Amino acid sequence: MNTARPWLWERARRTPDAPALLWHDRTLIYSELVARADAVAGRLAGLGVTRGDRVATVMDASPRFVETLHAVQGIGATVVPLNTRLTGTELAQLIDDAEPRLVLVDAGHAGRVGEAGAGGRAGVRVVETGAELDAAGSGRGDPVVATLDPGELHSIVYTSGTTGRAKGVMLTHGNHEASARASRERLGHGSDDRWLAVMPLYHVGGLAILLRAVLDGAAVLLQPGFDPREANLAIRRQGASMVSLVATMLGRMLEENAGRAYPNHLRCALLGGGPVQPSLVAEARSVGMPVAPTYGLTETASQLCTVSPGAELPAAGFVGKPLAGAAVAIDGADENGWGEIMVRGPSVMAGYFGRPQETSAVLSDGWLRTGDIGWQDTAGNLYVEARRTDLIVSGGENVSPAAVEAVLLAHPDVAEAAVFGVPDAEWGQRVMAVVVMREPTTAAAADFASDADELTAWCRRRLAAYKVPREILPTSQLPRTASGKLKRAELIARLYPD
């Protein structure tokens, strides 16, 4: 569906009686969903939101999130979905960076946003998405815009990088539409599909499900979070035909499934979020789950390369060919062909919000420097050796070592800190830390145990749970280059020689 109109309104015009959203035992058809989104759009207008404004959300997966997502597009504003797992302090930093007109927060997260002083910036209003939003009066008659410019911003999605500064990735309507179109061409999804949505909706992978569905006219089976049993039941009993997962989710679903064959109506399990082991794919396919490993970034509106469901995986890191309209190049290849992955195409972001220098550092002549390492074979297939050099991908969540190091260094007893990821069978990677204490300490774990407990508690008060180091070890000195740069790879090799 190529349209200049807000997508949900155009979809409801075309297929008003088609199922749009399944939530627990309730099904909304497109005419019902658009009516609810229309009402939210009116309330947002009544609260002063106009075309071009930014609306941040701190909301769990729910029909209200879906309504809000479409309502924001409907009035020509930009949605900024924020990670609900962040601490109040972390949320306040992102809200301060995004400078939204409005922050919509559901009841479960209102306390943290309030404690963080998120509404302290002049002009930023925090509104609870239940009774407070429902009580808001509608404004400007019909606030829904007649047309959308493909170059206007649809969303700003925050992503962690190796610098530790969260960056807002600016994605246009055109970026998302191009991504959905290319995904459809590779995977064949359409109006008859039911997308199972268990990915966080503040991640581009979860957001993309909602957008692909409305552009295709498909239904979304929305779940409040990931539970392997509920995900498997949605496939077996509710007819889910498409699902997006990360490796940790897939492993848990296979364990809960206990070797039973999946039904034939499951056509594709899109698998991203980090490196995927061929053995996991083979296990899934042996019970009829057609896994399709994919490589993508927030900066490319999700998918960029994807293996066709059922295609062979010749080696770890194989992610297939670029999607239609996308191109991949390898810069600075070594003697083995490994180099930095560069990409271009219509789904590549407009830039980082409020970060012109960081944007120019990665975008040049239409090419995006991903910071990831990989190589291409003669057929054009991409193999990804590693995600961004220092970035830790744990259970599909990105963890910036620099951000965790900054929290550790804020402790008065810590002189130096190094954070890195190590392989983990369940999570892909787990977060580890090594610290140099200001007062001399021995390397004996027993002698350091109380310090480690204190530092762990310190981190838990300041970081989302998935960012907290699983283990903190002491050392007398961190390996550094002559210029003082941490030699992270040497440190990991020293601690984990195998």
User: What value does the mean pLDDT take over residues 63-78?
Assistant: 98
User: What value does the mean pLDDT take over residues 67-82?
Assistant: 98
Give me the pLDDT at residue 388, please: 62
User: What value does the mean pLDDT take over residues 149-161?
Assistant: 90
Poorest-pLDDT segment among 82-91, 274-283, 383-392, 393-402: 383-392
> Quick check: 444 pLDDT over 50?
no
Domain boundaries of the chain, sorted by first residue: 7-385, 393-495
Give me the pLDDT at residue 159, please: 87
Q: What is the mean pLDDT of the chain?
A: 90
Give tens-digit pLDDT for 418-439: 999 988 888 888 999 999 998 7
Give me the pLDDT at residue 20, please: 98
Give me the pLDDT at residue 221, please: 98
pLDDT band at 471 (very low <50, low <70, confident <90, very high): very high
3-class SS string, the chain: CCCCCCHHHHHHHHCCCCEEEEECCEEEEHHHHHHHHHHHHHHHHHCCCCCCCEEEEECCCCHHHHHHHHHHHHCCCEEEECCCCCCHHHHHHHHHHHCCCEEEECCCCHHHHHHCCHHHCCCCEEEECCHHHHHCCCCCCCCCCCCCCCCCEEEEEEECCCCCCCEEEEEEHHHHHHHHHHHHHHHCCCCCCEEEECCCCCCHHHHHHHHHHHHHCCEEEECCCCCHHHHHHHHHHCCCCEEEEEHHHHHHHHHHHCCCCCCCCCCEEEEECCCCCHHHHHHHHHCCCCEEEEEEEHHHCEEEEECCCCCCCCCCCEEECECCCCEEEEECCCCCCCEEEEEECCCCCCEECCCHHHHHHHEECCEEEEEEEEEECCCCCEEEEECCCCCEEECCEEECHHHHHHHHHCCCCEEEEEEEEEEECCCEEEEEEEEEECCCCCCCHHHHHHHHHHHHHHHHCCCCHHHCCCEEEECCCCCECCCCCECHHHHHHHHCCC
Give me the pLDDT at residue 272, please: 87
Share of the chain above pLDDT 90, in %: 67
393-495 to CATH, choices 3.40.47.10, 3.30.300.30, 3.40.30.10, 3.90.1150.10: 3.30.300.30
Give me the pLDDT at residue 483, please: 45
> Quick check: 386 pLDDT over 70?
no
Q: What is the CATH number of domain 7-385?
A: 3.40.50.12780
pLDDT band at 82 (very low <50, low <70, confident <90, very high): very high
| pTM of the predicted protein model | 0.85
Give tens-digit pLDDT for 11-30: 999 999 999 999 999 999 99
> Quick check: 264 pLDDT over 50?
yes
Share of the chain above pLDDT 70, in %: 93
Poorest-pLDDT segment among 147-161, 251-265, 346-360, 382-396: 382-396
User: What value does the mean pLDDT take over residues 129-145?
Assistant: 89
Give me the pLDDT at residue 389, please: 65
Poorest-pLDDT segment among 93-97, 210-214, 251-255, 441-445: 441-445
User: What value does the mean pLDDT take over residues 155-162?
Assistant: 80
User: What value does the mean pLDDT take over residues 205-231?
Assistant: 97
User: What value does the mean pLDDT take over residues 333-358?
Assistant: 93
Give me the pLDDT at residue 200, please: 92
Give me the pLDDT at residue 446, please: 55
